[in-house]
């Protein structure tokens, strides 16, 4: 086990990239940091958010890292070079969850965001060019299904922006 120091405030979110070579952390210091998973060395510090980082996610191909924040925005960078890719605006309150679609099909490359404004937003992007399009108003896919930790409930987002919850 390796202990690393780098954030100056509490770290509440962490993600491991699919290659298991990098760890991404987000903190109340408004920074996102990328670490070497084996050595614990700091690789990048990603800046731009104006409030706490509430969630981090890495794309399935390990090319992108995204962070949601209490500043109502999602910022996206390249994972390898820490280059800014996009700032996604649309939530009217803090972003609480983000997740990349797990599909390897480039026509189904999305970033999902959920905010305290009680909205779920889908952002389509091109995995080749890394360009994000405007927010998707209607998507005809089942995007995500998650079990809520500590509960017997499951929530999933599906076509036409509908979100459904199920008690098991």
**How high is the pLDDT of residue 144?**
45
State the Cα–Cα distance between residues 8 and 11, nearest whole angstrom.
Answer: 9
Tokens of 83: 């280059």
pLDDT tens-digit profile, the chain (168 residues) = 566 667 666 778 889 999 999 989 888 788 999 989 888 889 999 999 888 899 999 999 999 999 999 999 999 999 999 999 999 998 999 999 999 988 777 777 889 898 888 888 889 998 888 988 866 654 444 444 443 444 444 445 444 444 455 444
Largest CA distance in the chain: 44
Is residue 4 situated within a structural domain? no
State the Cα–Cα distance between residues 113 and 90, nearest whole angstrom.
Answer: 10
Residues 161, 101: one domain?
Answer: no
Residues 163, 122: one domain?
Answer: no
Phi, psi of 133 (to 5 degrees): -90, 180
Sheet holding 110-115, edge to edge: 95-100, 110-115, 120-125, 132-136
Domain that holds residue 163: 140-168
Is residue 151 situated within a structural domain? yes
**How high is the pLDDT of residue 7?**
63
Residues 163, 87: one domain?
Answer: no
Tokens of 62: 């390990």
Tokens of 30: 């408004």
Which residue do the tokens 């779920």 mark? Answer: 120
State the Cα–Cα distance between residues 45 and 29, nearest whole angstrom.
Answer: 11
Is residue 89 situated within a structural domain? yes
Q: What CATH number corresponds to the domain at position 31?
A: 2.130.10.10
Is residue 6 situated within a structural domain? no
Is residue 131 situated within a structural domain? yes
Looking at the structure of the chain, the number of domains it has is 2
């Amino acid at each position: 086990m390796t202990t690393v120091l780098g954030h100056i405030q509490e770290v509440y979110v962490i993600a491991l990239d699919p290659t298991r070579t990098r760890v991404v952390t987000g903190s109340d210091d408004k920074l996102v940091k990328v670490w070497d998973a084996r050595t614990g060395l700091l690789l990048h510090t990603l800046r731009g958010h104006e409030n706490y980082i509430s969630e981090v996610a890495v794309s399935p191909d390990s090319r992108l890292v995204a962070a949601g924040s209490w500043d109502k925005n999602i910022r996206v960078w390249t994972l390898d070079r820490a280059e800014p890719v996009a700032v996604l605006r649309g939530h009217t309150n803090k972003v609480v969850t983000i997740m990349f679609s797990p599909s390897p099909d480039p026509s189904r490359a999305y970033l999902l965001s959920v905010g305290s404004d009680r909205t779920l937003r889908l952002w389509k992007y091109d995995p080749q060019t890394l360009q994000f399009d405007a927010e998707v108003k209607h998507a005809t896919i089942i995007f995500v299904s998650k079990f809520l930790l500590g509960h017997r409930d499951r929530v999933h987002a599906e076509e036409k922006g509908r979100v459904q919850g199920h008690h098991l």
